[in-house]
Amino acid sequence: MMHMTMDELTVGQKGAVKAINAPKQLKRRLMDMGFTKGVGVEVVKLAPMGDPMEVSLRGYHLCLRKAEARAIELR
C-alpha cells in the first residue's frame, strides 16, 4: 500500500492529513500547530534550495522541513 507523505507534494498540490507518524515530541508539536486527522493542507512554496517547504492549513501558513513533513501521511 502506497503511503503519500506531505514532503512529496509539489507547489500547489493539496492533501488531507491521514496520520502523523513521528516520535512523540515531533508528533505533538505538529498536532499543536494544527496537523490533525482530516485537515486539508496545500503546499504554497519551496525554499530556493528545495527545503524547507511552506504549507497552508487552517487558514494560515507554516514552514517546516521536508524531514518533518515526511511524518505527515496524507490521503
Partner 1 sequence: MQTIALIGNPNCGKTTLFNTLTGTTAYVGNWPGVTVEKKEGMVNGHRILDLPGIYSLSPYSPEEKLSRRYILDEQPDLIIDVIDATNLERSLYLTTQLAELGRPLLLALNMEDLLEKEGIRIDRKRLSQMTGCPVVQISASKGTGIKALLEEIERSLDQKRLPMQPLFSNFIERYITTIIKDDYLHQIPKGRQMRWAAIKLLEADELFLASMPQPPQAFQTYIEQARKELVEHYDDDVQAIIIDQRYKVAERIAKDCQIRTKKAKQFNFDNLATSKFGAIPLFIAIMAAVFYLSIGLVGGYTTSWLESFFAFASLHIQVLSDALQVHPLLSGILVDGIIAGVGAVLTFVPQLFVLFLLLSILEDCGYMARIAFIMDRLMRSMGLSGKSIIPLVIGTGCSVPAIMSSRTIEHQKQRELTVIVTPFIPCGAKMPVFALMLTYFFPGKWFIAPLIYLLGILAVVITGLLARALDKHKETNAFILELPRYQIPAAKNIWLQTKDRTLGFIQKAGTIILLSSIIIYLLSSYSFTLQAVDAELSMLATMGRLIAPLFAPLGFGFWQASVALLTGIAAKESIVSTLSVTIGTSSLGSFFTPDTALSYMTFILLSSPCIAAISAMFKELGSKRKLLFAVLWQTGFAYVAALLIRSATLLLL
Q: Which residues bind partner 1 (CB under 8 A)?
A: 19-20, 25-34, 36-37, 39, 45-52, 54, 58-65, 67-68
- In the complex, what is the shortest distance from the CB of residue 61 to partner 1, in angstroms, rounded to a whole number? 6
Q: How far is the CB of 57 from partner 1 (least distance, A)?
A: 8
Distance in Å, CB of 19 to partner 1, minimum: 8
**Which residue number, 4 or 39, has a Cβ lying nearer to partner 1?**
39
- Number of Cβ within 10 Å of residue 18's Cβ equals 15
CA distances from 32 to 25, 29, 50, 66, 67 (A): 10, 5, 25, 18, 18
